[in-house]
């Protein structure tokens, strides 16, 4: 764990990668089925919470998840949270252009941000939670997101996941490596694997689903899983 990147090191890498993450169709394809997961989450979030007035996009990057939700329709308030100021600037520019609602930006580590209770209707987290390290951090963030949702609100996650069994983990990462090589060549595969090893600490899908239940969610939905990528969500029940 001591060899993992610090928050400042992760922030510095994303500060220099704004243009790539501004491309919705290709900017996040290091995650298998990223575009599909984005559309599945946007549709599911607004099917579950159709009257959502306030969206929160944590680890928003250049704003792709918020933009997808605002297409269905645009008159919603949005809070964008990210470590990177350049990412937030781009996200605010893009989101402000398509919504009539208020747009707020917060430059913060989700671990340190004191989110107001029952303040938002939908939370999306795209390729961000894998930066959490310890079990305590994972539980703290999931509990914080649950508390921030209004009753009837929903949390949606698209992220890198591990397998629980070492043999299956090897199989899934072999498939992931083949996907990356087919996408952009072996050098690209090695680059992605290198920064995952340095920056990321993904957890198995079932670990995260069990944790969602532990912090208070009752209804949980798996939208998609392919090798090391998953999209899933949970609803905060009313009453």
Q: What is the spatial distance between Cα 121 and Cα 45, in angstroms, rounded to a whole number?
A: 10
Q: If pLDDT is split at 50, 70 and 90, which confidence band does 26 have?
A: low
Q: With beta carbons less than 8 A apart as the criterion, state whether 103 and 77 touch.
A: yes
**Closest CA relative to residue 123, chosen from 233, 238, 11, 214:** 233
Q: If pLDDT is split at 50, 70 and 90, which confidence band does 29 have?
A: confident
The answer to whether residue 228 scores a pLDDT higher than 70 is: yes
Higher pLDDT, 30 or 57: 57
SS (H, E, C) the chain: CCCCCCHHHHHHHHHCCHHHHCCCCCCCCCCCCHHHHHHHHHHHHHHHCCCCCEEEEECCCCCHHHHHHHCCCCCCEEEEEECCHHHHHHHHHHHHCCCCCCEEEEECCCCCCCCCCCCEEEEEEECCHHHCCCHHHHHHHHHHHHHHEEEEEEEEEEEECECCCHHHHHHHHHHHHHHHHHHHCHHHHHHHHHHHHHHCCCCEHHHHHHHHHHHCCCEEEEEEEECCEEEEEEECCCC
The answer to whether residue 2 scores a pLDDT higher than 70 is: no
Neighbours of 194 (CB within 10 A): 10
**Span 92-111, average pLDDT:** 94
Q: What is the spatial distance between Cα 238 and Cα 122, in angstroms, rounded to a whole number?
A: 14
CATH 3.40.50.150 fits 7-235, yes or no: yes
Q: If pLDDT is split at 50, 70 and 90, which confidence band does 1 have?
A: very low
The answer to whether residue 115 scores a pLDDT higher than 80 is: yes
**Span 57-75, average pLDDT:** 89
Q: What is the spatial distance between Cα 9 and Cα 112, in angstroms, rounded to a whole number?
A: 17
Q: What is the pLDDT of residue 27?
A: 63
Instruction: Kindly tell me the sign of the dihedral angle through the C-alpha atoms of 139, 140, 141, 146.
Output: positive
Q: If pLDDT is split at 50, 70 and 90, which confidence band does 238 have?
A: confident
- Give me the percent of the chain exceeding a pLDDT of 70: 97
Neighbours of 103 (CB within 10 A): 21
Q: Which two tokens stand for residue 48?
A: 């579950």
pLDDT averaged over every residue in the chain: 92
Q: What is the pLDDT of residue 213?
A: 97
């Amino acid at each position: 764990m001591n060899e993992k990147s610090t928050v400042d090191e992760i922030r510095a890498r994303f500060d220099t990668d704004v243009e790539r993450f501004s491309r919705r169709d290709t900017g996040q394809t290091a995650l298998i089925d990223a575009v599909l997961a984005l559309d599945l989450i946007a549709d599911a979030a607004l099917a579950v919470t159709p009257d959502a007035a306030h969206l929160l996009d944590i680890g928003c990057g250049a704003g792709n998840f918020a933009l997808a939700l605002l297409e269905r329709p645009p008159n919603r308030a949005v809070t964008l949270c990210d470590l990177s100021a350049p990412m937030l600037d781009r996200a605010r520019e893009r989101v402000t252009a398509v919504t009539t609602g208020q747009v707020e930006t917060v430059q913060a580590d989700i671990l340190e941000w004191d989110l107001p209770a029952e303040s938002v209707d939908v939370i999306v987290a795209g390729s961000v939670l894998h930066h959490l390290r310890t079990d305590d951090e994972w539980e703290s963030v999931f509990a914080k997101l649950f508390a921030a949702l209004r009753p009837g609100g929903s949390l949606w996650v698209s992220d890198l996941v591990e397998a629980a069994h070492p043999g299956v983990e090897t199989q899934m990462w072999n498939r992931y490596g083949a996907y990356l090589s087919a996408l952009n060549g072996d050098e690209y595969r090695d680059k992605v694997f290198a920064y995952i090893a340095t920056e990321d600490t993904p957890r198995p899908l079932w670990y995260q689903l069990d944790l969602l239940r532990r912090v208070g969610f009752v209804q949980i939905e798996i939208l998609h899983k392919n090798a090391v990528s998953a999209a899933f969500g949970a609803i905060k029940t009313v009453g």
